[in-house]
């Protein structure tokens, strides 16, 4: 970035990242003249995206006037965010810094199909905007987390094993229409869709482990998936399939029948160690359970069979994670989801440290989620902000605003 190549969007990125937060620092980072920096900053001020903060302290030896600190103004807009699970959903209005301004959680089953689910989210968004006191025109975009693989280019889920009726559906378009209908947001509102484990990882890494260059989050709920963040960016693979560890085949006990997975294959990790798998085994043992959510309730109550099965499932997942850790060499491995309690985590640690090379685990922290149920929401909001205020996108939006 040098000379006239640095536009207003580039300057905004430098300020937001903290790499250059004064006019002088921006000149030094970009090579732009003082006048050009001033002109481009003026566009950002007129858009309401930047503000002046406190003056920075002056070096007593150098003297001179104090430099005015520049800040991203996170009050000029809000983002909508929602996270779908198989039987529940969570939605919120977020500030651009990730603060929850209004939030709602309720039963919403993905089996009902995209038309019903996305229309209901539109209704929730309308109620939440009223609760937050923010005008629909202040919404800059929407982020949605879904429990399936997403082609990030189109925003459509691709052959999702636990989302019947959603394959290839125009989620972004339908949610934008639902929000416009029920929440009066602009009809062309940007909607970004990503896998829930990806967004949980993104939210957690940014909030609790920002200096971790290789971060892995494993969500174990009704299904099993992983999100990977490398150098601050979500790693998705070539078409959104990265992290789908729930469909890695795992060894079965001698003589045991291989479990049938929702994907149609036998012996997948999700068929053996997910919340759905444990719910099935508990039900067969006379303890009714329908999903990972129900298993979580039994674990919270200390049900002995649920505790035993959760530890066993943790060992199965730990065996797969030994390969994941050896391949990616992460600094943090986070366990999240309905089963992310002590019994499951104990099982993971047992097998992971037995099977992985000591070199792979020497600097590894195995932890549980810090943001809890809000991980995917915070990640979805962060995705919206990072996408809409990235240099090229920001420059196009400034032009559209006429500044």
- Which of 72, 103, 129 is a domain's end point? 72
- In this prediction, what percent of the chain has a pLDDT beyond 90? 85
Assess whether 259 and 349 both reside in one domain: yes
User: Bigger pLDDT: 153 or 391?
Assistant: 391
**What is the per-residue pLDDT for 252?**
74
The pLDDT of residue 255 is 55
Give the model confidence (pLDDT) of 94-133 as tens digits: 999 999 999 999 999 999 999 999 999 999 999 999 999 9
pLDDT of residue 115: 97
Residue ranges making up the domain that contains 384: 78-198+376-401
Identify whether residues 151 and 218 lie together within a single domain.
Answer: no
Q: Is residue 321 part of a domain?
A: yes
Q: Token digits for 38?
A: 């001033």
Residue 365 and residue 218 in one domain: yes
Asked if the structure places residue 204 within a domain, the reply is no
pLDDT confidence tier of residue 57, bands split at 50, 70 and 90: low
Domain limit, last residue, from 51, 72, 93: 72
pLDDT above 70: residue 21: yes
Q: Are residues 52 and 121 in the same domain?
A: no
Give this prediction's pTM: 0.92
More confident: 253 or 287: 287
Mean pLDDT, residues 360-366:
95
Count the domains in the chain. 3
- Residue pLDDT, tens place only, 306-347: 999 999 999 999 999 999 999 999 999 999 999 999 999 999
- The CATH number given to whatever domain includes residue 257 is 3.30.420.40
Confidence (pLDDT) at 3: 47
Confidence at 227, pLDDT banded by 50, 70, 90: very high
φ, ψ of residue 206 in degrees (nearest 5): -70, -35
The pLDDT tens digits of the residues spanning 173-194 come to 999 999 999 999 998 999 999 9
User: What is the mean predicted confidence (pLDDT) over 81-87?
Assistant: 94
Q: Among 72, 96, 115, which residue terminates a domain?
A: 72
């Amino acid at each position: 970035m040098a000379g006239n190549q640095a536009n207003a969007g580039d300057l905004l990125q430098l300020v937001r990242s903290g790499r250059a937060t004064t006019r002088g620092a921006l000149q030094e980072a970009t090579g732009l003249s003082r006048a050009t920096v001033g002109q481009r900053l003026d566009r950002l001020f007129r858009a309401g995206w930047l503000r002046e903060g406190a003056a920075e302290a002056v070096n007593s030896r150098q003297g001179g006037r104090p430099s005015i600190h520049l800040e991203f103004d996170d009050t000029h807009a809000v983002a909508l965010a929602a996270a779908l699970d198989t039987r529940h959903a969570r939605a919120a209005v977020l500030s651009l810094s990730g603060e929850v301004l209004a939030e709602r959680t309720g039963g919403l089953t993905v089996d009902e199909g995209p038309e019903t689910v996305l229309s209901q989210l539109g209704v929730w968004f309308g109620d939440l905007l009223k609760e937050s006191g923010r005008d629909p025109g202040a919404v800059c975009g929407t982020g949605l987390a879904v429990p399936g693989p997403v082609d990030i280019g189109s925003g459509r889920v691709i052959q999702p094993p636990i989302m019947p009726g959603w394959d290839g559906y125009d989620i972004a378009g339908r949610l934008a229409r639902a929000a416009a209908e029920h929440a009066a947001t602009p009809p062309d509102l940007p909607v970004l869709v990503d896998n829930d484990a990806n967004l949980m990882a993104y939210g957690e890494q940014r909030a609790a482990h920002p200096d971790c260059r290789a971060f892995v989050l494993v969500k174990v709920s009704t299904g099993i998936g992983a999100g990977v963040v490398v150098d601050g960016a979500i790693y998705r693979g070539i078409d959104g399939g990265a992290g789908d560890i729930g469909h890695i085949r795992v060894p079965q006990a001698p003589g045991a029948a291989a479990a049938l997975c929702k994907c149609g294959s036998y012996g997948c990790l999700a068929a053996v160690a997910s919340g759905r798998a444990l719910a099935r085994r508990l039900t067969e043992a006379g303890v009714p359970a329908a999903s990972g959510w129900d298993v979580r309730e039994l674990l919270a109550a200390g049900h002995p069979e649920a505790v035993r099965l959760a530890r066993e499932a943790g060992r199965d997942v730990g065996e797969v994670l030994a390969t994941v850790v050896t391949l990616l060499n992460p600094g943090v491995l986070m366990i999240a989801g309905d089963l992310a309690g002590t019994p499951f985590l104990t099982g993971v640690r047992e097998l992971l440290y037995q099977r992985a090379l000591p070199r792979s685990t020497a600097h590894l922290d195995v932890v549980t989620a810090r943001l809890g149920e809000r991980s995917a929401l915070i990640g979805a909001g962060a995705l919206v902000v990072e996408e809409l205020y990235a240099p090229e996108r920001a420059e196009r939006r400034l032009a559209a605003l006429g500044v």
